[in-house]
Amino acid sequence: MARTVVIADDHPTFRRFARRLLEQAGFDVVGEASDGGSALSSVAELAPDVVLLDVMLPDISGIEVAHRLASCSPSVRVVLTSSRSADDLAIDARAGATPFVCKDELAIDVLGELLGAGR
């Protein structure tokens, strides 16, 4: 069974790219969001297995969204992404154990590694 995904990113071009990549990898993209509030609503409504979540959203930071999801939807796996590096964003210190991948490094094998293929 394909795992379900919500993509939360404010750039439509990246959402299209990520959708294609995820669908090629066997994921079922059930929703997209362009800001943090919509991401939280989409997760509540669609109950995806995974959220691909941009760190830099226009209303609420992706890190804050990830923290809220950990509280209200603890079974959802979150992968943070950004065009900036984790070091530039100090992801480790702020996001805890949430996996992170730079947008330009996003690939099927990287997603498999981050999400644990077959889980």
What mean pLDDT is predicted for residues 85-114? 72
Q: Where do runs of H (alpha helix) occur along 1-119?
A: 12-24, 36-46, 62-72, 86-89, 91-95, 108-115
Percent share of the chain, pLDDT over 90:
62
Q: What pLDDT digit, counting tens, does each position of 46-84 carry? A: 999 999 999 999 999 999 999 999 999 999 999 999 887
- Domains observed in the chain: 4-115 (3.40.50.2300)
